[in-house]
Amino acid sequence: MLPVLGVLAIVAGAIAAAAGFGIGSVLTPAMAYWYPAKLAVAAVSIPHLVATGYRLWLVRQHVDRSVLRSFGVMSAMGGLAGAVIQTWLVSRYLEVVLAGLLIFVGLGGWLGYTRKMRFVGIWAWIAGAVSGFLGGLVGNQGGLRSGAMLGLGVPRDAFVATATATGVIVDLARMPVYVATQLRELQAIAIPIGAMTVGVLIGTAIGIRLLRKVPEAMFTRVVSALLIGLGVWLLLKP
């Protein structure tokens, strides 16, 4: 189990560094193969916070503060609400709905529809709240957050940096909920959590280098392709 989690964590960290999401999306289903779904979500939130915090330090100069104040804050509030409800409700049907949304948004980005759609004003706040809530509920917020951010029209570096900063806010908002409700269970699986944490840090360092090689003009399509892949993965996984 540990070698598998370690390799997946490296891959997830690299994807997240290049696209702004991927750690929870890859590691949560993997952990859920060996542990209950609720515990898997809580466990992955720890390496997610560590890697996202490290990534934010590396790209901090590119954060779009106006997007962070609107979209990011509402995403954090929605993520906290979703995390609270998640302690009572986890459903495969919710994952299927999430997968469908990711594929839909990814296709829109790949076909260029997101260039015609812009979340401005109150719509940016709503997009942040909805993506945060669904992510906190299912434990895969990053993909939805990045999908929603395609409609904000921010450039590549600002996209990744602002998505990362939002992820840190969300993690800080939902972490106390997970720890308060599942502390003993998390302590019992400290070794798998440690393996994932080391893996995502290694992957983050790799992914930051890969990000610099992605042309600005191709970035939206790269993110869109990853969203589609994530949606298909969520649909097909056991």
pLDDT per residue over 24-70, tens digit each?
878 887 888 888 877 888 888 889 889 989 989 988 888 888 888 87
Full-model pTM: 0.76
Q: Are 18 and 207 in contact (CB under 8 A)?
A: yes
Q: What is the pLDDT of residue 118?
A: 59
Q: Are 99 and 49 in contact (CB under 8 A)?
A: no
Q: What is the pLDDT of residue 216?
A: 64
Q: What is the pLDDT of residue 207?
A: 86
> How far is Cα of residue 16 from the mean position of the Cα atoms in its chain?
8
Q: What is the pLDDT of residue 116?
A: 59
Q: What is the pLDDT of residue 197?
A: 94
Residue 186's identity, in one-letter code, is L
Q: What is the pLDDT of residue 215?
A: 74
Provide the domain count of the chain. 1
Q: What is the pLDDT of residue 202?
A: 93
Q: Can you give the residue range of the structural domain that contains 170?
A: 2-236
- 124/140 Cα distance (integer angstroms): 20
Q: What is the pLDDT of residue 217?
A: 66
Q: What is the pLDDT of residue 156?
A: 78
Q: What is the pLDDT of residue 143?
A: 73
Sign of the dihedral defined by the CA atoms of residues 134, 95, 228, 175, in that order: positive
Positions of the chain with pLDDT under 70: 83, 86-93, 108-109, 112-121, 136, 138-141, 216-217, 220, 237-238
